[in-house]
């Protein structure tokens, strides 16, 4: 069974490489804001836990 899936996986990866689409500017902005928000909230929660624990 795993041997049958191997060629299918290789074909799927090759197809994904051929159909590559760059991210839209709005998608990049959304990713940046999400990562930044996550980092800020993580720092805030660590600071709050240090203060109150």
Domain membership flag for residue 18: no
Domain membership flag for residue 36: yes
Total structural domains within the chain:
1
Give the domain extent around 40: 24-53
Confidence (pLDDT) at 38:
98
Domain membership flag for residue 31: yes
User: What global pTM score does this model have?
Assistant: 0.61
Domain membership flag for residue 37: yes
Domain membership flag for residue 43: yes
Domain membership flag for residue 15: no
How do residues 1-53 score in pLDDT, each as one tens digit? 556 667 788 888 888 888 888 899 999 999 999 999 999 999 999 999 999 98
DSSP string, the chain: -HHHHHHHHHHHHHHHHHT--PPPHHHHHHHHHHHHHHHHHHHHHHHHHHHH-
Domain membership flag for residue 4: no
């Amino acid at each position: 069974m795993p041997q049958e899936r191997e060629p299918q996986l290789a074909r799927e990866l090759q197809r994904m490489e051929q159909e590559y689409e760059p991210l839209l500017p709005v998608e990049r902005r959304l990713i940046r804001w999400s990562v930044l928000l996550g980092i800020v909230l993580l720092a805030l929660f660590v600071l709050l836990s240090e203060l109150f624990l």
